Amino acid sequence: MTRLFGTTRALRGWSLANLIANSGIILTGGVVRVTGSGLGCSQWPKCTTDSYVTLPANGLHGMIEFGNRLLTFVLIVIAVGNIIAAFRARDRGATVPRVRELSILVMVGIVLQAVVGGITVWVKLSPYLVAVHLLLSAALVSICTWLVHLAWHRAQNVANRTLVNLTRAAFVLTWVAVYLGTLVTGSGPHAGDLSSPRTGFELETIAKIHAMSVWLLVALSIYFVVKLRSRQSYELLGVLLLQGAVGYIQYFAGLPRGLIILHLLGVCLVIIAATALVLSVRRPTVVHEHDRESRTIPA
């Protein structure tokens, strides 16, 4: 049990598993959407009026939606493992208490996400509630990235106030771009079910607004590469360029299913990269010269 939960390596493993699992369920949720299986289980918490599991009459759509629901239990098992590992970890100053708080927050978020998913089914896949459903999953990915950052005790670079604030602005803009992306999906052909409502926005217009937010992020990322020259800044710029390329290709190709799933993978990577960037910098603090472990980055 010590090897499974009581070591730094175990904590890192559980934290990384948490990140992978919470990213993965975004992809499986995308499969539900593009296959029109959002109402494959028409009830919640039951799948049908009379059964907690899918029935042959529900066909492939029922199997896909029910399978996605089952993954919630996998996430719960991993989250519990992460919590146990966090509480058995040796105290290293302020890091371990924060890891414990975040691991519990992930557990709470998974349960909340399941409830929101159920309500989404009740309202027949309202595009705005579906957007909240995705944003909650994305928030869990961001929190898990923070967990991984703390578990690996990654050093922070010292930057001036302007750079630190700009990384925070980029983090907020990332969420704006993701939200606008959910509106694009809710306005298009893959809203989860053929009978589910759409946002009512004109697809081309909302897609252009979404693209503008991404281009702003790209511009900020280029600035970070020039000023920070850090691994995190290069990673954010790289995933944004790849994500943008996939976005344009899928739009002009008529939104094929495979590219939509790939675009969702890009969403996870962008959130991870944006979170890692904002965690990688901090403002200067007064320290003794021999205690300096971070390099100062000019404005």
Domain boundary among 131, 154, 177: 154
Which residue range(s) make up the domain with 202?
155-299
pTM over 0.75: yes
Residue 280 near residue 154 (C-beta atoms within 8 A): yes
Q: Poorest-confidence range of 63-77, 163-177, 243-257?
A: 243-257
Domain boundary among 154, 171, 197: 154
Q: What is the pLDDT of residue 236?
A: 97
Residue 221 near residue 233 (C-beta atoms within 8 A): yes
Q: Within this chain, do residues 138 and 286 fall inside the same structural domain, yes or no?
A: no
Q: Within this chain, do residues 211 and 258 fall inside the same structural domain, yes or no?
A: yes
Q: Within this chain, do residues 74 and 196 fall inside the same structural domain, yes or no?
A: no
Q: Poorest-confidence range of 152-156, 161-165, 187-191, 203-207?
A: 187-191
Task: Write out pLDDT tens, residues 105-139.
Answer: 999 999 999 999 999 999 888 888 989 999 999 99
Q: What is the pLDDT of residue 152?
A: 86
Q: Within this chain, do residues 248 and 268 fall inside the same structural domain, yes or no?
A: yes
Q: Percent of the chain beyond pLDDT 90?
A: 63
Task: Write out pLDDT tens, residues 25-54.
Answer: 999 999 998 888 888 998 999 999 999 999
Burial of 204 (C-beta count, 10 Å sphere; 0-12/13-18/19+): exposed
Number of domains observed in the structure of the chain? 2
Q: How confident is the model at residue 1 (pLDDT cuts 50, 70, 90)?
A: low
Whether the per-residue pLDDT at 78 is higher than 80: the answer is yes
Q: How confident is the model at residue 157 (pLDDT cuts 50, 70, 90)?
A: confident
Before 45, cis peptide (omega within 30)? yes
Residues near 61 by beta carbon (within 8 Å), at least 6 away in sequence:
35, 36, 37, 39, 40
Q: What is the pLDDT of residue 13?
A: 95
Q: How many residues does the chain have?
A: 299
Domain boundary among 154, 179, 198: 154
Q: Within this chain, do residues 51 and 159 fall inside the same structural domain, yes or no?
A: no
Q: Within this chain, do residues 38 and 181 fall inside the same structural domain, yes or no?
A: no
Q: Within this chain, do residues 107 and 218 fall inside the same structural domain, yes or no?
A: no
Q: What is the pLDDT of residue 283?
A: 79
Q: What is the pLDDT of residue 36?
A: 85
